[in-house]
């Protein structure tokens, strides 16, 4: 008699909330060798003008071995590698913390990523839960290029009925304690960075670290409209497979009614827009916290403004300082009035991103 064997599907549906457990280590496919074409496409998508990532000569004058890739491009690529295992079944990506950028990444480097589950909490509706992971990106020499914590609301595979017992196998809730800001001592300054020949004319702005003050607000002025093809091209560049960004039929039948723009796309747009006022913010060193406060769709026009939260000295360096910044991205509303939270701490529908991050900037010598 032929045994009744049901063939196992070879298609991986991704992990649901029940599949995660504390201290679980997940090695993500697929390693990616980055090229100059990745950097060129990134500039084509966002119009970034920071000279360190545009000019090999400018980078060499600062001690770099070559023109490094944009820091956020590295972040997105490592983030994208984690999506099929962590958030392909996500309801939403909820936030970021403790993100530190490591060694510079150059064309020809090969990036890979590993995540570890550091927190789990089932939601009260029992339809989903929150998963906290620490993801680390490495180059081909096993050097860390970026490390960050993010937390995601993930659907459950099976939703229990009101009379069902508590789910077996669900971990008791563990919510990790995360640092609100990456200390200056933990910021990584590239070993060979030399700012003696830093050229403010080529950078496009005279203002350096000393010229920024805590509480100062900068309206970056310009706006950028999101095109449907561009946001999907960007997300594919990072090999981010989240269905909410690509599947038109699925999303038309969902609560939003249309495809969502990847939140990282908005982060990169805001960073590119911040050139107008922060042209000498030569490197993103850390992301302290971040929240996507409202959904973004193709056709929205993004504006941005930035508040200086802190001006920090970098231990052992007199040529470079750190600025802790809060950049707020806004859709379909100019930022001359600095749209922000109301008195109750609620964001208006126009505010789509609140990003707390730290940049390195040359000091006067």
How many other C-beta atoms can be found within 10 angstroms of the C-beta atom of residue 365? 10
The pLDDT value given to residue 123: 93
Q: Residues near 2 by Cβ (< 8 Å), separated by ≥ 6?
A: none
As a whole number of angstroms, the distance between CA 306 and CA 132 comes to 28
Can you give the pLDDT at residue 161? 64
d(CA 263, CA 93) in angstroms, rounded, equals 8
pLDDT at residue 91, rounded to an integer: 84
- The mean predicted confidence, pLDDT, of the chain is 93
Tokens 């497979």 — which residue? 241
State yes or no: pLDDT of 209 exceeds 80.
yes
Phi/psi at 130 (5° precision): -105, 130
Q: Point out which residues pair with 326 in neighbouring strands.
A: 307, 356
Q: State how beta strands 144-155 and 128-138 pair.
A: antiparallel
Confidence at residue 251, expressed as pLDDT on a 0 to 100 scale = 86
pLDDT-derived band at 163, boundaries 50, 70, 90? low
- Mutual orientation of helices 36-46 and 263-273 as an angle, nearest 10°? 80
Across the chain, the runs of DSSP E, i.e. the strands, are: 25-33, 90-101, 110-122, 128-138, 144-155, 217-219, 224-225, 283-291, 301-313, 320-331, 351-362
Can you tell me whether residue 152 is helix, strand or coil?
strand
pLDDT band at 289 (very low <50, low <70, confident <90, very high): very high
Q: Which two tokens stand for residue 348?
A: 């208006």
Better pLDDT: 218 or 241: 218
**pTM of the predicted model over 0.95:** no
The model's pLDDT over 52-109, given as tens digits with 9 standing for 90+, comes to 999 999 999 999 999 999 999 999 999 999 999 999 888 888 899 999 999 999 999 9
State the pLDDT confidence band at 335, using cuts at 50, 70 and 90. Answer: very high
Residue that is written with structure tokens 């020499």 in the block: 141
What mean pLDDT comes out for the span 148-161?
A: 88
Per-residue confidence band for 242, with pLDDT thresholds at 50, 70 and 90:
confident
Q: What is residue 93's predicted lDDT score, i.e. its pLDDT?
A: 85
Matching residue, tokens 């802790």: 324
CA atoms of 80 and 266, how far apart (whole Å): 15
Going 281 to 283 to 285 to 287, the CA torsion angle's sign is: positive
- Looking at residue 256, what is its pLDDT? 82
CA–CA separation, 218 vs 86, rounded Å?
A: 36
- Contact indicator for 323, 363 with CB cutoff of 8 Å: no
- Alpha-carbon distance 281 to 86, whole Å? 32
What is d(CA 55, CA 52) in angstroms, rounded to the nearest whole number? 6
The pLDDT of residue 341 is above 70: yes
Q: What percent of the chain shows pLDDT beyond 70?
A: 95
Q: What are phi and psi of 268, to 5 degrees?
A: -70, -35
pLDDT band for position 165 (50/70/90)? Answer: low
217 beta partners: 307
Burial of 87 (0-12, 13-18, 19+ CB in 10 A): buried
pLDDT given for residue 213 in this prediction: 98
Min mean pLDDT across 148-152, 172-176, 329-333 is at 172-176
> Does residue 338 surpass a pLDDT of 70?
yes
CA–CA separation, 131 vs 137, rounded Å?
Answer: 19
CA distances from 223 to 194, 276, 284, 328, 342 (A): 33, 11, 21, 13, 23
Instruction: Spell 132-143 as b/e; 16+ CB within 10 A means b.
Output: bbbbbbbbeeee
The predicted structure's pLDDT at residue 6: 64
Instruction: Tell me how crowded residue 1 is: count the other CB atoms within 10 A of its CB.
Output: 3
Distance of alpha carbon 308 from the chain centroid: 20
What domains appear along the chain, each with residue ranges and CATH number?
Answer: 14-159 (3.10.129.10), 206-226+261-365 (3.10.129.10)
Count of other CB atoms within 10 angstroms of residue 250: 11
* pLDDT tens column, 13-67: 889 999 999 999 999 999 999 999 999 999 999 999 999 999 999 999 999 999 9
């Amino acid at each position: 008699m032929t045994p009744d064997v049901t063939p196992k599907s070879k298609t991986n549906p991704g992990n649901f909330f029940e599949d995660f457990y504390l201290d679980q280590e997940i090695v993500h496919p697929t390693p990616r060798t980055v090229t100059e074409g990745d950097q060129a496409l990134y500039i084509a998508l966002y119009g970034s003008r920071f000279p360190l990532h545009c000019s090999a000569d400018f980078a060499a004058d600062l001690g770099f071995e070559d023109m490094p890739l944009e820091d956020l491009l590295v972040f997105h690529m490592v983030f994208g590698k984690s999506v099929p295992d962590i958030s392909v079944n996500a309801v939403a990506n909820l936030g970021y913390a403790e993100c530190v950028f490591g060694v510079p990444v150059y064309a020809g480097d090969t990036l890979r990523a590993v995540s570890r589950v550091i927190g789990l909490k089932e939601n009260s509706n029992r339809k989903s839960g929150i998963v906290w992971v620490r993801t680390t990106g490495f180059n081909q020499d096993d050097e860390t290029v970026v490390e960050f914590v993010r937390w995601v609301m993930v659907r459950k595979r099976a939703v229990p009925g009101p009379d069902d017992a508590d789910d077996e196998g669900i971990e008791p809730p563990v919510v990790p304690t995360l640092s609100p800001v990456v200390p200056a001592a933990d910021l990584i300054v590239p070993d060979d960075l030399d700012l003696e020949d830093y050229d403010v004319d080529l950078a496009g702005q005279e203002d350096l670290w000393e010229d920024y003050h805590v509480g100062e607000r900068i309206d970056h002025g310009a706006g950028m409209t999101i095109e449907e093809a561009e946001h999907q091209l960007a997300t594919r560049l990072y090999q981010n497979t989240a269905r909410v960004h690509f599947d038109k039929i699925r999303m038309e039948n969902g609560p939003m009614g249309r495809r969502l723009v990847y939140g990282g796309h908005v982060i990169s747009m805001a960073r590119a827009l911040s050139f107008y006022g922060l042209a000498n913010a030569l490197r993103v060193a850390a992301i302290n916290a971040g929240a996507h406060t409202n959904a973004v769709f193709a056709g929205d026009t993004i504006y941005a403004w930035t508040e200086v939260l802190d001006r920090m000295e970098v231990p052992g360096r007199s040529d470079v300082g750190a600025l802790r910044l809060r950049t707020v991205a806004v859709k379909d509303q100019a930022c001359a009035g600095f749209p922000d939270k109301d008195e109750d701490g609620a964001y208006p529908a126009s505010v789509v991103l609140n990003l707390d991050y730290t940049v390195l900037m040359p000091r006067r010598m």
